[in-house]
Amino acid sequence: MTSWQNNRAARDARIAAGAGLARGKVVEAHDVTRLLEAVVRSGDRVCLEGDNQKQADLLSRALLAVDLSKVNDLHMVQSGVVLPEHLDLFDRGVAKRLDYAYSGPQSARIARMLFGGKIELGAVHTYLELFARYFIDLTPHVALIAAVSADREGNLYTGPNTEDTPTVVEATAFKDGVVIAQVNEIVDTVPRVDIPADRVHFIVKADKPFFVEPLFTRDPAAITEGQILTAMLAIKGVYAPYGVQRLNHGIGFSTAAIELLLPTFGERLGLKGTIASHFALNPHPALIPAIESGWVRQIHSFGSEVGMDDYIRARSDVYFTGSDGSLRSNRAFCQTAGLYACDMFIGSTLQIDLQGNSSTVTTSRIAGFGGAPNMGADARGRRHPSEPWLKAGAEADPDGSALMRRGRKLVVQIGETFGDKNVPLFVEKLDAIELAEKLKLDLAPVMIYGDDVTHIITEEGVANLLLCRTAQEREQAIRGVAGYTDVGRRRDHGMVSRLRERGVIRRPEDLGINPLDADRSLLAARSIKDLVRWSGGLYAPPSKFRNW
Amino acid sequence: MEDLNFQHQVRARAGGTRQRAIVGVVASGNLEVLVERSLPDAECVVDIKTAAMGFGAVWSAVIGDFVERYSPGGLKFSINDGGARPDTVSLRLAQAVRLIAEAGQ
Amino acid sequence: MTAPLKDISPAERARSTSFYEASARTRLELLLDAGSFVEFIGPEQREASPHLKIFDLPEQFDDGIIVGHGRLDGSPVFVAAQEGRFMGGAFGEVHGAKLTGLLRAARQIGSIPVLILFDTGGVRLQEANAGELAIAEIMRALMEARSAGVKVIGLIGGRSGCYGGGGLIAGCCSALAVSEPGRIAVSGPEVIETNRGVEEFDSRDRALVWRTMGGKHRRLIGAADVFADDNVQDFREAALELLGLVGPFGLDRLRAEQRRLADRLRSFGGCGDAVDIWTAEGIAHAEAVPELPADQFIALANRIGRTSRDAR
């Protein structure tokens, strides 16, 4: 007789093998490596929860220490490759194959290891894409997750950084996988149940709280006049004419500058209530002045941010909060919201080519994509209309039938023509292509494809690619805002000035902006301390951002 | 360090009466521009000492556009550069012209 | 629309300008009576450092310090302002000589006070010998000026703080005003950590750095006499207040300062952290001191009143 429950039986066997080390579901921290040796099988697909913020750091160290004769050649399927231990697994041979989405701080090392053949790469995904594959062909056998607290039954409270946890657990627990959670504390009653106990098989109390990095805090003190100018151009040249209310911001300094200009420059332009009211966004501290000034109606978040807990709790009209009052974030839902319910994505990148393709990959760094490609893509499945979406669609196809014409999401790339160390933003050929050739990848790791990009904003002006009718116009529109980079200096001056007459390129003076007015006094907050003041003392920045 | 020098013939004398002005500081990614009203009305000179090597062509383009746009006749610009980006250079030059165009000494 | 600054009064502009963020030139422009500043050895004289080019480093025309004279509420003052962003405001040969010269001029005239706007990490490594000598010369010139009856006021609230030799010079001043972001010490956080270990002092724990060296602590233990909010107008008012308070200088005063310091060491020498000192001072909820807004902090500091104007 054919058995149809082999996987369930295998899962039960794994749990039984680990049960000897547990009291109920609770395993002592010093027994975790032995637990993993008992539960994990060589070649397993393992999701080691590495989110943007929340890291299952104890479990990653424990996995790194396994006996290689018992556990090896794992296939890691995790969104964030963020901790050094995540890559040490491959150096040691515990893991062999990798499918991931984001590698921020490990981007240089991951590039070296890919070149050195230490990692067998499946693909670099967007978050939603990897989450989707958890349910189709990359379902984890074992999920190693992190939460703030657990009760003795195994109900988990994830705290404000719920992030990927529900998605990972859903895919693992309901398809015969084993879920092991590290928690900061074991309590009698959790503040709220983010993960029900019947999806959790083992819990481990960590000796110290899981590692959280303040990734979304931009110190206003570091915002430059150039970034303020590009922010002014964005507000007056894109937010205002399209009336963008539903949007997502990237995490760079240019978008932080926009957030800090809303209550000052935006207020003077009379834009309050007409732009920037509904966000898919982490709780950016830089948005506090706009929230306090009544600009922002609602924010749904991918994850939380260090120091924002009390502020969020006190501003539940704006944020999504649980019955306990703290933030409930959810990366999968927020990514979906950014893809389908936002009319604009605005963010920065490292390289833009002549077609408008952009990438954060350079030959020495593979940072991954995170969520930008989901935010920064036209959602072909979208069916509901909105004014900015319809207007952008009409600009792209002025002769099409209004009832049959798709709208367009505004996908805006913002940045300074030269980045850190005078590295140009604009290039003739993306490093991503060179990398793909070297690594023999089927696809170059492009973050946002040129045909999705609608606007490029630099300190030199705004290029509206929706209004370009030919590839040549598109190229010159890009060159026309590329400043003094090689790409910019090789522009066709005649064509660029014709594009400017048509409003395809708009310079600061075309928008009534004097670059000499781009002054730091325009920022609603010029320091982290100012943000604390705006929050009425509710924002508690981490020590690394203090100067008091 | 690299020394660069640009000399331009310009259409018109720069406005204002101040004899000199200084803007900016020398720091990473920043520069100072000292501007002095010390040349014949149709001339403009820009002297640069820069910490970033090999950007002569970019400087030439930045200065060329600046002179074309502001017609800073009679002005000598002396720059100490800590590796500023071209947009920062353009901004400081414009700030220097604005400051020397004010009334005063 | 976006250029409102021209329409407001100098005092309003000084009130809305962060001292911490402003350049040395802007600080002087807004600190002094409008239009009164006259610079000695200005940038057009190009008295830059003779040493930096050897290290292939960029120079600044004023070598990172501006000296001159101007008026404060109508009365003449000598001023010096360090630019903390150029080489961390560090003392080199020319930089130091400009301050020495200013103090010697003040000594000769005798009746015009000196304001020093510190913003320095200490001595410039690339010209260490000249810089160390400059510190000694400045300290001597400062004490000679004070002996001749000159009041020397230090204002501290810049990005680079007041460290190394700058901390020594500040210790010689008649009085100091400090703001919250301002820091005063001799050895900086990284130096302490390098020499004594991270257990002794974690230089990346910025809250620790500030409660040990920052403006609020320095005010509470009497190292600074007045606490200014972080804007240029507040520093202007602090300077005026201190000029009115500073008494004559002599051996009695030095003895009083020695007694004050010995007493301070006796009282707090056993404390492991600034919060312990504040608690010993009788401050309830001492751990909340760093979060206090300026006005509440000033009220608290005045209640504690640890500065003694008969010392220094």
Q: Is A226 on the interface with B (CB under 8 A)?
A: yes
Q: Is B62 on the interface with A (CB under 8 A)?
A: yes
Q: Is B78 on the interface with C (CB under 8 A)?
A: yes
B101: chain A residues, CB-CB within 8 Å: none
C231 by Cβ neighbours in 10 Å (0-12 / 13-18 / 19+) ranks as buried
A232: chain C residues, CB-CB within 8 Å: 2
Residues 6+ apart with CB under 8 A from A174: A199
For residue C12, pLDDT beyond 70 = yes
Residue A121, beta-bridge partner list: A98
3-state SS, residue C45: helix
pLDDT of residue A51: 82
**For C4-304, which CATH class?**
alpha beta
Look up tokens 């490594």; give the residue: C125
C290: chain A residues, CB-CB within 8 Å: 548
Q: What is the Cα–Cα distance from A170 to A202, expressed in whole angstroms?
A: 16
Whole-number average pLDDT of chain B: 94
3-state SS, residue A413: strand
For residue C309, pLDDT beyond 80 = no
Q: Is B12 on the interface with C (CB under 8 A)?
A: no
Q: Is A225 on the interface with B (CB under 8 A)?
A: yes
pLDDT tens per residue across span C234-266: 999 999 999 999 989 999 999 999 999 999 999
pLDDT of residue C4: 46
Strands B31-37 and A156-157: unpaired
pLDDT of residue A104: 83
Interface test with chain B among A225, A232, A422, A514, by most B beta carbons within 10 Å: A422
Are A450 and A355 contacting, i.e. CB atoms less than 8 angstroms apart?
Answer: yes
Interface test with chain B among A484, A491, A496, by most B beta carbons within 10 Å: A484
Query: Min CA distance, A540 vs chain C (Å)?
Result: 10
Q: Is B88 on the interface with A (CB under 8 A)?
A: yes
pLDDT tens per residue across span A66-104: 999 999 999 999 999 999 999 999 999 999 999 999 998
pLDDT tens per residue across span B59-83: 999 999 999 999 999 999 999 999 9
C267's tokens: 């009282």
Whole-number average pLDDT of chain A: 95
Closest residue in A to B97 (Cα) is A516
For residue C311, pLDDT beyond 80 = no
Low pLDDT (below 50) residues in chain A: none
Q: What is the Cα–Cα distance from A507 to A106, expressed in whole angstroms?
A: 38
Whole-number average pLDDT of chain C: 94
- Are A459 and B55 inside 8 Å of each other by CB? no
pLDDT of residue A364: 80
Identity of the residue in B62, B83, B98 whose CB atom sits nearest the CB atom of A484: B62
Portion of chain C with pLDDT greater than 90, in percent? 91
DSSP secondary structure code for residue A421 in this structure: G
Residue A410, beta-bridge partner list: A344
Q: Is A515 on the interface with B (CB under 8 A)?
A: yes
Which candidate, A211, A205, A171, places its Cα nearest to that of A185?
Answer: A205
DSSP E strands in A395-459: the ranges are: 410-414, 455-458
Which candidate, C179, C233, C312, places its Cα nearest to that of C31?
Answer: C233
* Chain C residues within 8 Å of chain B (Cβ atoms): 23, 25, 43-44, 46, 53, 56-61, 83, 85-86
pLDDT tens per residue across span B7-33: 999 989 999 889 999 999 999 999 999
Q: Supply the ipTM of this predicted assembly.
A: 0.95
Query: Min CA distance, C12 vs chain B (Å)?
Result: 21
Residue C282, beta-bridge partner list: none
φ and ψ at A391, to 5 degrees? -65, -45
Which candidate, C110, C109, C80, C107, places its Cα nearest to that of C96?
Answer: C80
For residue C274, pLDDT beyond 60 = yes
A-to-B residue pairs, Cβ atoms closer than 8 angstroms: 39
- Are A416 and B85 inside 8 Å of each other by CB? yes
C70: left (phi over 0), alpha (psi -120 to 50) or beta: beta
Q: Is B8 on the interface with A (CB under 8 A)?
A: no
C291: chain A residues, CB-CB within 8 Å: 537
pLDDT of residue A329: 97
Taking the CA atoms of chain B, what radius of gyration do you get in angstroms? 13
Q: What is the Cα–Cα distance from C167 to C223, expressed in whole angstroms?
A: 11
Interface test with chain A among C1, C2, C30, by most A beta carbons within 10 Å: C2
Q: Topology of domain A220-529, per CATH?
A: Glutaconate Coenzyme A-transferase (3.40.1080)
A-to-C residue pairs, Cβ atoms closer than 8 angstroms: 50
- Crossing angle, helix A331-340 and helix A127-134, to 10 degrees? 120
- Are C43 and B1 inside 8 Å of each other by CB? no
- Are C58 and B20 inside 8 Å of each other by CB? no
Q: What is the Cα–Cα distance from A189 to C130, expressed in whole angstroms?
A: 67
pLDDT tens per residue across span C147-166: 999 999 999 999 999 999 99
For residue C5, pLDDT beyond 80 = no
Q: Is A222 on the interface with C (CB under 8 A)?
A: no
- Are C1 and A545 inside 8 Å of each other by CB? no
Query: Min CA distance, C122 vs chain A (Å)?
Result: 19
pLDDT of residue A166: 98
Q: What is the Cα–Cα distance from C8 to B98, expressed in whole angstroms?
A: 19
Q: Is A534 on the interface with C (CB under 8 A)?
A: no
Residue C1 banded pLDDT, cuts 50, 70, 90? very low
Q: What is the pTM of this model?
A: 0.94
pLDDT of residue B2: 95
Decide yes or no: CATH 3.40.1080.10 for domain A22-205.
yes
Question: What kind and span of H or E run contains A332?
Answer: helix A331-340
Q: Give, in order, the Cα–Cα distances in Å from C174 to each of A28, C81, C121, C228, C309.
A: 62, 17, 21, 17, 10
For residue C308, pLDDT beyond 80 = no
> Where do the structural domains in chain B lie, given as residue ranges?
2-100
Neighbours of chain C (3+ CB pairs under 8 A): A, B
Q: Give, in order, the Cα–Cα distances in Å from A514 to each of A21, A228, A230, A264, A268.
A: 69, 12, 12, 16, 15
Are B85 and B57 contacting, i.e. CB atoms less than 8 angstroms apart?
Answer: no
For residue A20, how many other CB atoms are within 10 A of its CB? 10
For residue B102, pLDDT beyond 90 = no
For residue B104, pLDDT beyond 70 = no
A516 by Cβ neighbours in 10 Å (0-12 / 13-18 / 19+) ranks as middle
Q: Is A373 on the interface with B (CB under 8 A)?
A: no
Portion of chain A with pLDDT greater than 70, in percent? 100
C205: chain A residues, CB-CB within 8 Å: 543
Are A97 and A10 contacting, i.e. CB atoms less than 8 angstroms apart?
Answer: no
Q: Give, in order, the Cα–Cα distances in Å from C76 to each of C28, C73, C148, C240.
A: 14, 9, 17, 12
C180: chain A residues, CB-CB within 8 Å: 529, 547-548
Which candidate, A227, A216, A217, A219, places its Cα nearest to that of A522?
Answer: A227
Residue A275, beta-bridge partner list: A272
3-state SS, residue A438: helix
Amino acid identity, residue C28? L
Closest residue in B to C55 (Cα) is B1
